[in-house]
Amino acid sequence: MTRALELHPDRLFPADQATRGIARELYKTVERLPIISPHGHTDPQWFAADEPFVDAAQLLITPDHYVLRMLYSLGVSLEKLGVAPVEGHPVLPQSREVWRLFARHYGMFRGTPSRLWLDWVFAEVFGLRVCLDSETSDLYFDAISTKLAEPAFRPRALFERFRIEVLATTESPLDDLRHHRALKASDWRGRVITTFRPDPVLDPEYPDFCANLDELSHLTGRDCRSYREYLEALRQRRAYFAAHGATSTDHGHPTAATADLSEANAAALFQRIVRADVSAGDAELFRAHMLTVMAGMSLEDGLVMQLHPGAWRNHNPTLLARFGRDKGADIPMRTDYVGALKPLLDRYGNSRALTLIIFTLDESTYARELAPLAGHYPALRLGPAWWFHDSPEGMRRFRRQTTETAGFYNTVGFNDDTRAFCSIPARHDVARRIDCGFLAELVTEHQLHEEEAADLATELAYTLAKQTYRL
């Protein structure tokens, strides 16, 4: 029996009626605020070309690694979801068949944030009024695919409909930023900016690292097999990104390790890491040193610095070999911050001109390490609950474990960090509801006045991200 798709107006608010009433009123003040999306992985070509999205499966399933990882865990092969292997030319299923397979498994997403986001997209973006299952699969596919052919569902139109004020994509330092150049030259007023992600030329264990250095040499006219020239090449690329709208850098290192080497020791290390047989210890030391170098460069050029450590990326070697990176096989791991960040903080932590935003997948560090660090060092801010913890309970845990020590103003609001474009407003809606619920609890406990809570709701939903990322 087909069930109606209904989004309850009080979803995610506290169960206590008095607290829920306050949360409901707070939410009204932020529900329609513009979206600041300062960190994510959507494709800038979508907005530069403004071509229609192809169909429901290619928009909502194939690029979403949250969806891919859950279905893979249930025994569904990635080929059957339309993901092409790195090598070979398999016959991939038609998008309708991919969607039918997804619909048959949709019930398996109960209780997950993906279910929250997708139901919001189905109801609010595409106007669907019945739940997705095997019986409604074709209805969904046809309705969504038909709408995607309409001008109102092209990327730029959806960007405006979602009330996105600014959206940051993330590019390699080797990217020519052609899509951002096209956007800048267009007459469209939407603001899409880039983010400088230097991992391909900072991480000696990144695929084709030495070839990437040679490409960096080609792009900059610098000899990037020389440490001094390499640093100048990085400065040059940072400036290029800033000229194309970047206000931040992003670093996806496996750990938060930092180091502060002398120039002579750093140059000697550099000569070792450009060898094909670089050791794991030298690779980690070089990444650690370069984080401190990047902090120094951020003081020079004003780019906000983001660090996303603590993920064992591409944990499944079979999946990595067959399909490549970023297919849902990244796993959280234990991460040290107090000791790991000390060399960088010793040098730059007391600077009010540096903004270093720290994220974690190791929630055990929130109260023990991250909140005390951010509650002391002027340079540090806490990024929001991230990735596996970008969920109702993850957001609540973040607020409960960090607020007493770091306060609200050493955090940076919310960012969605997504590849799935239509999920952006859904994710922001969840974050706004959870924060309003948390603030309502503080009001009912007489820790905040309602006026203060209303101010904070706006800060958390909009102002902090805009200010911290210098937007």
Listed by start position, the domains of the chain span 17-51+155-468, 53-153
Cα(18)–Cα(24) distance, rounded to whole angstroms?
10
- The HSE-up count of residue 289 (CA atoms within 13 Å, CB side) is 21
* E strands in 157-303: 164-168, 192-193, 248-251
Cα(140)–Cα(21) distance, rounded to whole angstroms?
35
Q: For residue 329, name the pLDDT band (cuts at 50, 70, 90).
A: confident
Length of the chain: 471
Architecture category of domain 53-153 in CATH? Orthogonal Bundle (1.10)
Of the ranges 82-86, 199-203, 413-417, which one carries the lowest mean pLDDT score? 82-86
Task: Tell me if domain 17-51+155-468 and domain 53-153 are identical in fold.
Answer: no
Q: pLDDT at position 238, please?
A: 98
What digits encode the pLDDT tens for the residues 95-113? 999 999 999 999 999 999 9
pTM above 0.85, yes or no: yes
Q: pLDDT at position 63, please?
A: 84
Q: Is the pLDDT of residue 87 over 90?
A: no
Token pair recorded at residue 63: 């690029």
Q: Are 183 and 245 in contact (CB under 8 A)?
A: no
- Looking at domain 17-51+155-468, its CATH class is alpha beta
For the chain, percent of residues with pLDDT exceeding 70: 100
Q: Are 63 and 42 in contact (CB under 8 A)?
A: no
Pick from 307, 201, 197: nearest CA to 254: 307
Cα(2)–Cα(143) distance, rounded to whole angstroms?
16
* Amino acid letter, 278: V
